[in-house]
Chains A and B, each alone.
Chain A
């Protein structure tokens, strides 16, 4: 009987039996929940994995209560909304907490069940135990992190290397230029041209790499300062004009008439974006031309929406390559790299700089017809800004006419520079060389304003100020005194203003800012603006800024500008600049070699005006680099030697070129 019964058993509805068995002992966890999330059905596999009893779960427990705290937040902010919106979720990873407290990483799939009216009835969930997979994932994640760190390290290495390479390269290009000023045979001239263009190209490449690695390392931020977009564009086009001419290409500029004269932004980075685009366009255009246009799209108060565009009639880019051109190391194809050269970083840098502005670069192109790069920027207009509407023009320059000023400054170049502007503005002034002389002179003369350098021999700016404020004459105790200093530290500590100076101006100063400050201190209204324009953020002098553009090592544009065509004046400035440099050189190298940062700083401050006048970026960079050796603990002798050599070399270059100017006037 028993035997017979057993025989017939397999035929008794085997499907039902195995469906139940499959549910209970399937290789995955099954779970059903009510629309409110309470567990209403659960299989044996799930119970075995988690260690809970069926009763514990079916007594009103909610699924979310089985999760870690982090998992609960994820469940409520991601899982639940997704499930309700799309009716299912797939492959979400959540950590469950087992009865004994240990975590159970699970991969979850859920489907909502609805009744005839479409209302949610229940949710069916399957869970896969992914303890092993989780371990692999974690390993993958670690690998990813490591790879990212490595990439970061590489970018830093690249930046350091490029920096190191740039210094001797600067020297090579400068020496090449100097060599060009000497008598040369035709053959030598030809070799020199090759040397010049090759080292120039190399420098451009290194600068690209440096920029790119800085962007990669996230070390770039935007500055906010007043600038004239019109002037910036003019400069860029002037800089590229020779290239265009060489290739017989038109180079045009189309600027919206309504563009504000003065904007607030980062002219260096904007200039870099546009220079990259224009030079790129020239590179890939053989016939026709390149056009830069800026349109004012809209203006709301001082917020301006500007549309920039650089278009060319060049070879164009095929659609399948278009997306890749902004990627690093990518040129539209390998042959192009061979034919046109370049790192392929230019566009990537431009794109990233545009993104840094919170905008996006777009490109349209047709093969054989040309390419158009465009981006929008939001910049603020500055009413009555100092650029674009410099006080150089007759009407506003009148504001300070007749003002009596005492200049207290021991640096001749600085005095000279101030003097030229004062003459221009019709200011009557006298100059003395130290604080002691200043106090004496003030007692005698009838001055309305004092400009005082903080670092002077005999009696420095602070002590002189104290002495003046203690004079018996009521008027002198209140006379406005503007401090001049190259030290950014002084500015940061607000020590200058706290110690009783009326205002402060950093060297190298912008003449527009100086004009405004002088006008404000003496309560003279600027004719064009009744309200003082917003103060530009205090900008660190050149010594603290790490300029990104490929600036020339030095330029005499400013010197010539100030000399205004007067050969004697430019010779005089060249001579006093040589003196200042020759005077500072031994102090600088000595301070560097013996590791005396204060002495070094003082010597640097002594020639700040000169550096500014000569736009001596090469020397400024060398000084900056040397400064890092002084502040960063004990450097090795070879690096000090190299830094001292770089300073020496840059001074030598400058002096060589200055002597030429000085001797031209004599000839």
Chain B
């Protein structure tokens, strides 16, 4: 199988060092549209859709392989191998932050830096650890995916209309981004929100930057702080941006926070 077709991989940029962008649950590579272009001059940017999302090959969706985040990490490594990427800067949003963590533990020599946007190693509260949700919350989410089938499918079922490359034309009455097969979305939600990778964090040797939003209901400040503390080479920037997707709501601030970590001169 062709890895690049499977993950709808798009390579751009004039730089030599690769920067791989990995989107989170609920979206596709479109969510990097305001961030990735800022790095095209200095990096070779690599964007892709996780299997099951966007324009990936849905037939490649294997419930066993993607039954844990390791499967997604293996995909990242396969893409790196296929494109012969070395000294990778990995930028992962939401659940993909942990996907990057797992990939970097597996092949540490391949990664130069990790940028983790809104990471959470475990969404479920456990003793002193406050992930933000109870197990019941997550099960309710999964159930509601079923209940909301018709409502959800509106944002998930493939639509013909819409032009992802020209958002200004987005006046059709259809949600054209981030289409996902509802069954896959449900499975991915379970895999994502029931995972616990806290034990993995101390194994990361790659220098890592946590970008933490204010008022993030998915991965709160305490969780971001936990991640930074457990990462042997971790640092954190608290963004003014609110919500869970600063790459969309505050792309300038996101880019500006990444640059010093990547070695750009300040200012």
Q: Does A534 contact B (CB under 8 A)?
A: no
Query: How does the 8 Å CB contact mask read for A29-70 relative to B, with 1 for contact and 0 for none?
Result: 000000111000000000000000000000000101000111
* Chain A nearest Cβ from B179, distance in angstroms: 10
**How many residues does chain A have at the interface if contact means C-beta atoms less than 8 Å apart?**
42
Query: How does the 8 Å CB contact mask read for A70-86 relative to B, with 1 for contact and 0 for none?
Result: 11111011101110111
A38's nearest neighbour on chain B, judged by CB, is: B242
Query: How does the 8 Å CB contact mask read for A123-157 relative to B, with 1 for contact and 0 for none?
Result: 00000000000000110110010000000000000
A86-B167, A86-B177 known; A93-B249 Cβ under 8 A: no
Instruction: Report the separation of the CA atoms of residues A86 and B178 in the bound assembly, to the nearest whole angstrom.
Output: 11
Q: What chain B residues lie within 8 Å of A36 (beta carbons)?
A: 215, 242-243
Q: Does A360 contact B (CB under 8 A)?
A: yes
Selected interface stretch from B133-141, B228-236, B255-263: B133-141
Check A95–B144 contact: CB distance below 8 A.
yes
- List residues of A (69-127) whose CB comes within 8 Å of B's CBs: 69-74, 76-78, 80-82, 84-95, 107
- List residues of B (142-172) whose CB comes within 8 Å of A's CBs: 143-144, 146-152, 154-155, 162, 167, 170-171
Q: Does A14 contact B (CB under 8 A)?
A: no
Q: What chain A residues lie within 8 Å of B151 (beta carbons)?
A: 91-94, 107, 137
Partner of B248, one of A85, A90, A94, A107: A85
* Chain B nearest Cβ from A115, distance in angstroms: 15
Q: Does A376 contact B (CB under 8 A)?
A: yes
Check A77–B244 contact: CB distance below 8 A.
yes
Q: What chain A residues lie within 8 Å of B94 (beta carbons)?
A: 77
Q: Does B30 contact A (CB under 8 A)?
A: yes
Q: What chain B residues lie within 8 Å of A92 (beta carbons)?
A: 151, 154-155, 175
Q: What chain B residues lie within 8 Å of A144 (beta carbons)?
A: 149
Check B178–A81 contact: CB distance below 8 A.
yes
Query: How does the 8 Å CB contact mask read for B218-246 relative to A, with 1 for contact and 0 for none?
Result: 10000000000000000000000011110
Check B150–A82 contact: CB distance below 8 A.
no
* Chain A nearest Cβ from B51, distance in angstroms: 10
Check B176–A141 contact: CB distance below 8 A.
no
Check A69–B218 contact: CB distance below 8 A.
no
Check B150–A140 contact: CB distance below 8 A.
yes
Instruction: Report the separation of the CA atoms of residues A205 and B193 in the bound assembly, to the nearest whole angstrom.
Output: 46
Q: What chain B residues lie within 8 Å of A84 (beta carbons)?
A: 245, 248-249
Q: Does B60 contact A (CB under 8 A)?
A: yes
Q: What chain A residues lie within 8 Å of B30 (beta carbons)?
A: 85
Instruction: Report the separation of the CA atoms of residues A144 and B183 in the bound assembly, to the nearest whole angstrom.
Output: 14
Q: Does A327 contact B (CB under 8 A)?
A: no
Q: Does A359 contact B (CB under 8 A)?
A: yes
A76-B245, A85-B30, A85-B167 known; A141-B154 Cβ under 8 A: no
Q: What chain B residues lie within 8 Å of A72 (beta carbons)?
A: 217
Instruction: Report the separation of the CA atoms of residues A140 and B149 in the bound assembly, to the nearest whole angstrom.
Output: 10
Selected interface stretch from B12-20, B21-29, B69-77: B21-29
Check B147–A138 contact: CB distance below 8 A.
yes
Q: What chain B residues lie within 8 Å of A376 (beta carbons)?
A: 1-2
Instruction: Report the separation of the CA atoms of residues A35 and B178 in the bound assembly, to the nearest whole angstrom.
Output: 21
Q: Does A355 contact B (CB under 8 A)?
A: yes
* Chain A nearest Cβ from B135, distance in angstroms: 11
Q: Does B253 contact A (CB under 8 A)?
A: no
Instruction: Report the separation of the CA atoms of residues A447 and B182 in the bound assembly, to the nearest whole angstrom.
Output: 66
Q: What chain B residues lie within 8 Å of A76 (beta carbons)?
A: 216-218, 243-245
* Chain B nearest Cβ from A86, distance in angstroms: 4
Q: What chain B residues lie within 8 Å of A88 (beta carbons)?
A: 170-171
Q: What chain A residues lie within 8 Å of B147 (beta carbons)?
A: 137-138, 141
* Chain B nearest Cβ from A619, distance in angstroms: 35
A77's nearest neighbour on chain B, judged by CB, is: B26
Q: What chain A residues lie within 8 Å of B148 (beta carbons)?
A: 74, 93
What are 11 residue pairs bridging A and B, where the CB atoms are less than 8 Å apart in the complex?
Answer: A35-B249, A69-B140, A73-B189, A74-B26, A78-B155, A81-B248, A86-B170, A90-B173, A95-B144, A137-B149, A376-B2
4 more A-B residue pairs beyond the given contacts A73-B218, A89-B155, with a C-beta to C-beta distance below 8 A: A76-B217, A77-B94, A86-B167, A94-B151
